[in-house]
Amino acid sequence: MSDNESSHPKNRYSFAGKLRPLAGIGVALGLVVAGYAWAGGFLAPGHLSQTLIVDTFQDINGVHPGFRRNHAKGVCMTGWFDSNGNGSRLSRAQIFQPGRFPVYGRFALAGGMPMATDTPASIRSLAVNFSTPNGEDWRIGTLDLPVFPFQDPQAFAAQLRTTLPDPATGKPDQARIDAFFAGNPASAKAIGIIKSRPFSSGFANASYNGLNAFLAIDDKNVATPVRWSLVAADPFEAETTPPNDPNYLFDTLIARVQEAPVEWRLVLTVGEPEDATDDATIPWPAERTRIDTGTLTVNAIEPEAPGNCRDINFDPLVLPDGIEASDDPLLSARSATYSVSFTRRAGEHKNPSEIELGTTRPAKGP
Kindly tell me which of 94 and 313 has the beta carbon lying closer to ligand HEM. Answer: 313
Buried b (16+ CB within 10 A) or exposed e, 104-132: bbbbbbbbbbbebebbbbbbbbbbbbbbb
DSSP 205: T
C-alpha distances in Å from residue 275, one per residue of 149, 224, 285: 17, 11, 8
Rounded to a whole number of angstroms, the minimum distance from the CB of residue 176 to ligand HEM is 19
Cross-strand partners of 202: none
Kindly tell me which of 125 and 299 has the beta carbon lying closer to ligand HEM. Answer: 125
User: Catalytic positions, please?
Assistant: 71
Kindly tell me which of 193 and 218 has the beta carbon lying closer to ligand HEM. Answer: 193
Rounded to a whole number of angstroms, the minimum distance from the CB of residue 61 to ligand HEM is 11
Kindly tell me which of 13 and 84 has the beta carbon lying closer to ligand HEM. Answer: 13
3-state helix, strand, coil in the chain (%, to 5): 25, 20, 50
Q: At what angle do helices 50-61 and 329-346 cross, to 10 degrees?
A: 60
Q: What are phi and psi of 310, to 5 degrees?
A: -55, -40
Residue 51 CA, distance from chain mean position:
19
Rounded to a whole number of angstroms, the minimum distance from the CB of residue 278 to ligand HEM is 13
Residues that bind ligand HEM (CB under 6 A): 53-54, 68-71, 74, 106, 108, 125, 127, 141-143, 148, 153, 156, 210-212, 280, 313-314, 330, 333-334, 337-338, 341-342, 345
Rounded to a whole number of angstroms, the minimum distance from the CB of residue 214 to ligand HEM is 11
Rounded to a whole number of angstroms, the minimum distance from the CB of residue 38 to ligand HEM is 9
Kindly tell me which of 22 and 127 has the beta carbon lying closer to ligand HEM. Answer: 127
**∠ CA 131-275-204, rounded to 5°:** 45
3-state helix/strand/coil string of 16-76: CCCCCCCCCCCCCCCHHHHHHCCCCCCCCCCCCCHHHHHHHHHHHHCCCCCCCCCCCEEEE
Rounded to a whole number of angstroms, the minimum distance from the CB of residue 208 to ligand HEM is 8
List the one residue out of 170, 169, 195, 167 whose CA is nearest residue 181: 195
CA distance 286 to 306: 42
DSSP 190: H
Kindly tell me which of 88 and 281 has the beta carbon lying closer to ligand HEM. Answer: 281
